Structure 1
Amino acid sequence: MTRVTYGIRSSAYHSTRSLTETALDVDDEITAQVIRNDFYVDDALTGADTVEEAVVLQDNLISTLKKGGFDLRKWSSNCPQVITRLPTSLQEAPEAYTICDKQYSIKTLGVKWHPITDQFSFTVTRMPEISKLTKRKLLSDVSTFYDPMGWLSPTILQFKILLKECWLAGSDWDERLPESIEMSWRNSRGELSLLQNLTINRPLTHQSPIVEMQLHVFCDASERAFAAAVYSRCTDANGNVVLNLLSAKTKLSPIKQISIPRLELSAAALGCKLLKACLDAFSSQKKPMLKLIGWTDSTVYLSWINDHPAKWSCFVGNRTTAIQEIIPPASWKHVPSAENPADCASRGLAPNLLLPHKLWWNGPSWLAENPITWPQQPSIISNEDSERRKRTILHAYKVPLCQPFETRFSVMSRLVRVTAWLLRASKLLRKITTPKGNLMADELVTALHALLASHQKDFFNDEISQLSEKTSYRGALLSLTPFVEKDSGLLRVGGKVSAK
């Protein structure tokens, strides 16, 4: 096969495998990493620290992939020098760089990127007015949002909550929604056009190189949802600190109600997964020393994470184990609820409140200051004894293979009578003369002795064996002068007086 065929079941694998195979023949390791990690199907999203490095990487990618039959075209960059050096046939929009068109944008995984200003924005299509709002229409409207980085999480959460309320109300797909849900949806729907005015800077810092980078994950939970948000704290060579929202994620709380501390724990677990995804995105880039710090407003969660997971229930222990693998317990800190940006995502924000919300876009203001000015940490005392792992005490007991005969009876007299009948039947089978008619008194006594002897063998078998063989006995019953009765085989004691 000399061509990658599109339209067959294995086409996706063929295209990805072809790129991976091409990367194996590259001598430059940076170029090979970009081919392996920075391609999404047939789109490359990568970068460099300087113009010179970007030009070298661009030339290496073009020459390397051309050997495999891949012609890279539609180039765009936030640096005009990298684009204008190429033939116009390889540029995405040559005229945009000529006239410096700030409105020029391209789509990057569903998000608009403006190369000239180096900013992201969102396209919000105007939704037509509808007279009847149904669950089907509500789901269709919610699905129009595509926010891979989670920047619009506080607003999208409001619509997710409304959709959950539809399910709880038991509404059918084409049935008109309850008035309260419809009113809330129409109010929020009318403000969605405001999101078109939102712009997000792509660079984490200004032109100065980064000398230190920290990633801070904030976690929070409410009765309706739990959320996490990751912020970068970059310090340049001049000591300037810049804060940026990297990514966020929200999840609705389960329909089955669970405690708020457990939801806070789930938010922390979600934050660690999100943080790991951010770390993987940095893995192929040159970066300074990275420090990870977690923030939560739950003191109960802090007591859980600072103790050994084995002390807690399975729900808490499993999640704290996964969290500690990414963020060590010493790196978790307490933040007041009013200064926790994840609180915005766990409760939701209308579009008109989201755009100017500095706490959401840049994190708490004190995060840019010296760490000694950060919030004081409270003393952590755990009162959640309900989450402590229950200690199980096992007692070993030898259980017979067969179910004991006497366990089938709850009345002693009936057990004795049944045993007496069985003993009479046994004698008849052995052709031993037995009385006829009702049971005799001596037969009942014999049956009782047989039952007692059977139980004594379960607990005093060694004593009965030694006493029956008339060997020297030195057991615990010695002071009671034990002996085995000849006729019944019962173990009896003479008492301490007899021993004297």
Structure 2
Amino acid sequence: MYRMVRVCAADQPLQRIVWRDSNDVPIRTFELTTVTYGTASAPYLATKCLQQLAKEGTKTHTAAAKVLKEDFYVDDMLSGVSTVEEGKLLIKELIDLLQSAGFSLRKWNSNSEELMQNVPEHLRDERTMLELDSSSATIKTLGLVWEPNTDSFRISTPKWENDTPITKRIILSDASRIFDPLGIVGPVVIQAKLFIQNLWKLQCSWDDPISHEMQEYWLEYRRNLAALDDILVPRWIGVGGETWNLDQSLEFHGFCDASEKAYGACIYLRTVTKSGAIVVRLVTSKSRVAPLDNPTKKKKRQTIPRLELSSALLLAHLYEKVMQGLRIPGKLFLWTDSMIVKCWLSSLPSRWKQFVANRVSEIQHITRHGVWKHVAGVENPADVISRGMTPAQLKYQTMWFSRPQWLLLDEAQWPRTQATIESELDVTELEESCVTVTLQSTPPSEFFGLRSSFTELIRLAAIVKRFQFNARKTNRNCRRLGFLTTTDLNEALVTLVKLAQQESFPQELADLTKRGCVQDSSRIQSLNPIIIEGVLCVGGRLRNASISASRKHPYILDPQHPLTKIIVVHYHRKLFHAGQQLLISMTQDIRIPAPDLLEVEKEIDHLKNNKAAGVDQLPSELSKYGGEALARAVHWAIVKVWEERVLELEEWMEVKHKIARKRPFISKANKAIRLKFANEHADKSMEYLKTVLWTDESKFEIFN
């Protein structure tokens, strides 16, 4: 096939070779003009030519183009038709289409002798035609052996080298030679997988001979494989053909099961002929060994229910592959003998623990058009593949190759699916997830919704408290009048914090009042909370530090409470939409539980992406002289010093980031700002800052 594909003339020098027959003959140079076998690109180029040929022949050779596109494996074709007439047409179109590109499709074979008469004699498989009536006339197809006269598959037993010492490398090589892509003899192959897993568990080296007992077991396994030669599996699975009733439904039945050592799945296809006969055929199967426990990684051996769930996931993936290959619609029935798995699959994945939830979610998605049912273990054919079986036993296992007998009956006579009663199942095996939900026992007060500004909310609270104080008869002679003082505003803030904490942490306040500590399950337990003058604060070793009381024991607030959001919004706008770290460092007077900091960060991102109009408005003169970015940064830094606050590292980095484009330099020392402008309007900008934003020239130092 490769030699029929010509390489582009520009690429032919890349396939240049030199050659001479002997040392006495001059060296000759050759260039290979066609695709060369053995090069990395050869399979792709040959396959791409077939695909392009199928694309070009879609209109002229419809049937051949479809087969050429879907039923070729490199240069081998394996396809089928429903009637002899369709076969004759396909043979003619394929020969014509391939010959138009210089390809000649040889070694034709079919289970229909009438079809073979339409194939030119020089294109037929001579061995088959000569031995067509012989039961030993076979043709190997993708590692399987096909007998055209019986239209059946069989497994060809490899020939072993008995003189070679049995090592782990030899055993792995022997197991790989049993090529069973359809899983026809899956129960036999799983025994080899389990034996290799046992070698791995014993940590046997690759090239050292294994123990005498294990060698005897493997030699016996080799000898038993000879019984596979007598097993015949029908190639036709019941789809297509003159006897297929298109009006009847087509059904896929998948079975899964698990044991302590392995788990597996198999799929059968159930069809009904025109005469009403029911045909059930094994389509494919898949098996896997159960994972071993690993003490070094604290990985325990999986429980039986989890292995059953893994087999259900394997069945879902297997069904997905079958549908990709067959591309035929049909009803889907999936069977398991585990009531726990059925309970898992009938509920939302969020109910279960992570391991179960992930697999349940994927299974429900893949098999969303199917129905999960329960079947007894003795009637489950997947039980055979999960436990393994010798070739001699498999030969007489009718339930594996044929089907469960009840599939030949009407649906009303199938095993009835029992209702899943969770109360009768083991609670520990169900692995139900414990979801911790934080609920406020008391809804937030309407007072927090009266003002959206933190400053206005504090002033409103202060006014209300003053009114309460002045309305008391005992305070008639000492009423508070005039402007609100700092004391009034601080007391108002403490009152609002107390109210928010009573709504968010009622249980914690009660525990601290009675027992002096919160419960271990409390989300603020890591903050070592204490009560100071009725306010829930952060405890710890900072009580002896030489810092302000608000920094020693910050208030604890719930991130979901409206007061917390109002405070975050206030500082966020005050800092001109600063980043997360800067904003959190500036709100040191409050403390949010560590698991809930993400909520605050989300709120910050929301604010940054949805800035209110006018928040970053700057004096027009300053914007004109220094640029908007420069003006914003300088104005921000001036305000910070104006409030007599020492610039921290995060704040300083934020200033540098904001003014990086204009290249000024700002530093903080002794509550003074040193400004260096890299533009021609430096003098005017500084003069404006002095006259408008600042009055004390001693706090400015201008340098070039």
TM-score, normalised by the number of residues in structure 1? 0.77
Report what 2:200 is aligned to. 167
Mark the runs of 5 or more structure 2 residues left unpaired by the alignment.
1-6, 9-33, 294-300, 439-503, 505-522, 528-536, 558-562, 565-704
> How many Å apart are 1:53 and its aligned residue?
0.3
> How many Å apart are 1:17 and its aligned residue?
0.8
Q: Does 1:247 align with 2:284?
A: yes
Q: Does 1:266 align with 2:310?
A: yes
After superposition, the CA RMSD in angstroms is 2.9
> How many Å apart are 1:407 and its aligned residue?
9.0
Measure the CA separation in 1 of the matches of 2:258 and 2:343. Answer: 17
Contact 2:237–2:282 (Cα < 8 Å) also in 1: no
When residues 119 and 456 of structure 1 are mapped into structure 2, their CA distance, relative to the original with a 3 A threshold, is closer
Measure the CA separation in 1 of the matches of 2:107 and 2:250. Answer: 33
Measure the CA separation in 2 of the matches of 1:381 and 1:70. Answer: 64
Measure the CA separation in 2 of the matches of 1:99 and 1:60. Answer: 25
State which drifts further: 329-338 or 111-120.
Answer: 329-338
Report what 1:21 is aligned to. 52
Match for 1:314 among 354, 367, 390?
354
Instruction: Name the SS for the 1:24 alignment partner.
Output: helix
Q: Does 1:209 align with 2:244?
A: yes
Listed as ranges, the matches of 1:252-401 within 5 Å are 252-256=289-293, 257-283=301-327, 289-328=329-368, 331-382=371-422, 383-384=426-427, 387-393=431-437
State which drifts further: 380-389 or 355-364.
Answer: 380-389
Deviations 1:289-325 (A, max 9, x none): 5111101101111011111223223322222222223
Measure the CA separation in 2 of the matches of 1:167 and 1:457. Answer: 57
> How many Å apart are 1:77 and its aligned residue?
0.5
Measure the CA separation in 2 of the matches of 1:208 and 1:44. Answer: 25
Q: Does 1:112 align with 2:145?
A: yes
When residues 99 and 7 of structure 1 are mapped into structure 2, their CA distance, relative to the original with a 3 A threshold, is closer
Instruction: Name the SS for the 1:190 alignment partner.
Output: helix
Amino acid in structure 1 at the alignment position of 2:303: S
Deviations 1:25-66 (A, max 9, x none): 121443322111100000111111000001101111111122
Report what 2:66 is aligned to. 33
Listed as ranges, the matches of 1:215-254 within 5 Å are 215-254=252-291
Measure the CA separation in 2 of the matches of 1:459 and 1:169. Answer: 56
Match for 1:6 among 18, 30, 37?
37
When residues 455 and 115 of structure 1 are mapped into structure 2, their CA distance, relative to the original with a 3 A threshold, is same
Contact 2:187–2:388 (Cα < 8 Å) also in 1: yes
Contact 2:352–2:432 (Cα < 8 Å) also in 1: yes
Measure the CA separation in 2 of the matches of 1:192 and 1:258. Answer: 31
Measure the CA separation in 1 of the matches of 2:556 and 2:427. Answer: 44
Measure the CA separation in 2 of the matches of 1:15 and 1:239. Answer: 46
Deviations 1:123-145 (A, max 9, x none): 11342435842212211211210
Measure the CA separation in 2 of the matches of 1:158 and 1:295. Answer: 24
Measure the CA separation in 1 of the matches of 2:116 and 2:539. Answer: 91
Measure the CA separation in 2 of the matches of 1:345 and 1:81. Answer: 39
Amino acid in structure 2 at the alignment position of 1:253: A
Contact 2:332–2:370 (Cα < 8 Å) also in 1: no
Amino acid in structure 1 at the alignment position of 2:222: R
State which drifts further: 5-14 or 379-388.
Answer: 379-388
Measure the CA separation in 1 of the matches of 2:551 and 2:322. Answer: 71
Measure the CA separation in 2 of the matches of 1:225 and 1:265. Answer: 12
When residues 207 and 121 of structure 1 are mapped into structure 2, their CA distance, relative to the original with a 3 A threshold, is farther
How many residues matched? 418
Instruction: Name the SS for the 2:366 alignment partner.
Output: coil
Contact 1:227–1:251 (Cα < 8 Å) also in 2: yes
Measure the CA separation in 2 of the matches of 1:329 and 1:66. Answer: 44
Measure the CA separation in 1 of the matches of 2:234 and 2:179. Answer: 18
When residues 322 and 410 of structure 1 are mapped into structure 2, their CA distance, relative to the original with a 3 A threshold, is closer
Instruction: Name the SS for the 2:153 alignment partner.
Output: strand
Measure the CA separation in 2 of the matches of 1:140 and 1:350. Answer: 19
Measure the CA separation in 2 of the matches of 1:57 and 1:145. Answer: 33
Deviations 1:156-178 (A, max 9, x none): 11111111100100111222323
Amino acid in structure 2 at the alignment position of 1:208: T
Contact 2:539–2:553 (Cα < 8 Å) also in 1: no
Contact 2:171–2:196 (Cα < 8 Å) also in 1: yes
When residues 451 and 411 of structure 1 are mapped into structure 2, their CA distance, relative to the original with a 3 A threshold, is closer
State which drifts further: 215-224 or 117-126.
Answer: 117-126
Deviations 1:78-100 (A, max 9, x none): 11111122221100127626863
Q: Does 1:200 align with 2:233?
A: yes
> How many Å apart are 1:101 and its aligned residue?
3.1
Contact 1:88–1:94 (Cα < 8 Å) also in 2: no
When residues 12 and 384 of structure 1 are mapped into structure 2, their CA distance, relative to the original with a 3 A threshold, is farther
When residues 451 and 329 of structure 1 are mapped into structure 2, their CA distance, relative to the original with a 3 A threshold, is same
Deviations 1:64-119 (A, max 9, x none): 12222221111101111111222211001276268633321111101111112211
Measure the CA separation in 1 of the matches of 2:548 and 2:55. Answer: 83
Contact 2:349–2:358 (Cα < 8 Å) also in 1: yes
Report what 1:479 is aligned to. none
When residues 188 and 453 of structure 1 are mapped into structure 2, their CA distance, relative to the original with a 3 A threshold, is closer
> How many Å apart are 1:280 and its aligned residue?
1.7
Contact 1:216–1:230 (Cα < 8 Å) also in 2: yes
> How many Å apart are 1:19 and its aligned residue?
0.8
Amino acid in structure 2 at the alignment position of 1:341: P
Measure the CA separation in 2 of the matches of 1:232 and 1:459. Answer: 64
When residues 407 and 119 of structure 1 are mapped into structure 2, their CA distance, relative to the original with a 3 A threshold, is same
When residues 456 and 247 of structure 1 are mapped into structure 2, their CA distance, relative to the original with a 3 A threshold, is closer
State which drifts further: 358-367 or 62-71.
Answer: 62-71
> How many Å apart are 1:393 and its aligned residue?
4.0
Contact 1:212–1:236 (Cα < 8 Å) also in 2: no
Measure the CA separation in 2 of the matches of 1:453 and 1:192. Answer: 81
Contact 1:300–1:384 (Cα < 8 Å) also in 2: no
Measure the CA separation in 1 of the matches of 2:319 and 2:539. Answer: 62
> How many Å apart are 1:201 and its aligned residue?
1.2
Amino acid in structure 1 at the alignment position of 2:373: K
Deviations 1:418-448 (A, max 9, x none): 63xxxxxxxxxxxxxxxxxxxxxxxxxxxxx
When residues 11 and 96 of structure 1 are mapped into structure 2, their CA distance, relative to the original with a 3 A threshold, is same
When residues 329 and 277 of structure 1 are mapped into structure 2, their CA distance, relative to the original with a 3 A threshold, is closer
Listed as ranges, the matches of 1:124-203 within 5 Å are 124-130=157-163, 132-203=165-236
Instruction: Name the SS for the 1:191 alignment partner.
Output: helix
Report what 1:69 is aligned to. 102
